[in-house]
Amino acid sequence: MHTYCDRCNEPADHPIDVWDDPELAALARDLGYRSVCGGCYDDLVVEAREAREQQADDRRVEHRAPAHLAVRLEPADGGAPQETVTEDISESGVQVRIVSGLEAGTVVRISTAEGGADAVAIVEVVWRNGDALRAGLRLVEASESWAALVRSHLTNAAE
User: Domain coordinates of the chain in residue numbers?
Assistant: 3-57, 65-158
Angstrom distance (rounded) from CA 28 to CA 19: 7
Q: Which of 87, 145, 88 is nearest to 111 (CA)?
A: 145
DSSP secondary structure letters along 109-136: EEEETTSS-EEEEEEEEEEEETTEEEEE
The residues facing 32 across adjacent strands are: none
Whole-number average pLDDT of the chain: 84
Rounded to two decimals, the pTM is 0.59
Assigned superfamily of 65-158: predicted glycosyltransferase like domains (2.40.10.220)
Of the candidate ranges 58-62, 81-85, 144-148, the one whose mean pLDDT is the lowest: 58-62
15-49 residue pLDDT tens: 999 888 887 887 788 788 999 999 999 998 888 88
For the stretch 141-151, pLDDT in tens is: 888 888 888 88
The model's pLDDT over 101-123, given as tens digits with 9 standing for 90+, comes to 788 889 999 998 777 888 999 99
Radius of gyration in angstroms for the set of CA atoms belonging to the chain, rounded to a whole number: 22
